[in-house]
Amino acid sequence: MKRINILTPKSLDAVGRIIAITRRAKVSVVNMQIAADTTIYRIHMDVNGDPDEVNWLVAKLDKLPEVLTIEEIHINR
């Protein structure tokens, strides 16, 4: 299982763009949380899938200019 942590400006348009890409990835999103700060959203996604597919998703998400930072970490469940 991998966790993808994303920081975006506080805009649902940005969240919509992130979802639009994620729904085309060949991964299973087992958990998703969005926490709002004053000016930003912190998005956490736990995904299962082939490592290459998770890499595809992270690389595609990182193309969005509104994705300010993105990190992928391995988690055990």
Partner 1 sequence: MALYDALYGQEIEYVLFRHEQGAMHAAEGYARVSGRPAVVAVTSGPGATNVVTGLTDAYMDSVPLVAITGQVPTGIFGRDGFQETDILGVVTPITKFVYQVKKPSEATPAFKTAYEISIMGRPGPTLIDLPRDIQLAGATDNEERIVVNREKFLPPPLDEAKIRLAAKYLMEARRPVILVGGGLLWSGATAEVLELSKMLNAPIVSTLPGKAAVPHDYPLYMGPAGMHGRAEADAALANADVILAVGTRFSDRTWGRFKELNESVKSGRVRLIHIDIDKSEIGKNVKPTVGIVGDAKEALRKLIDIIHVESISNTKYISWLLNIRKMYEDAMSRIAESTKTFHPWKVLKVLRNAAPRNTVTVTGVGSHQMWAEIAWDVYEPGTFITSAGLGTMGFGIPAALGAKLADPARPVLCIDGDGSFQMTMNNLALVRDYNLPIVVAIFDNRALQLVKQWQIYLYQRRIIATEFSHRPDFLKIAEAYEIDGVKPESYAELERLVGRALRNNEPLIVDLTIDSESDIVLPWVKPGDWLTSAILPEGMNVKLEYEED
Which positions lie near partner 1, rule CB under 8 A? 9, 13, 16-17, 20-21, 24, 39, 52, 55-56, 59-60, 62-63, 65-69
Cα angle: 41, vertex 43, 33; to 5 degrees: 110
Q: How far apart are CA 51 and CA 38, in angstroms?
A: 34
How near is the Cβ of 76 to partner 1 at its closest, in Å?
25
How near is the Cβ of 20 to partner 1 at its closest, in Å?
5
Q: How far apart are CA 71 and CA 62, in angstroms?
A: 9
Report the residue number, 16 or 74, with the smaller CB distance to partner 1: 16
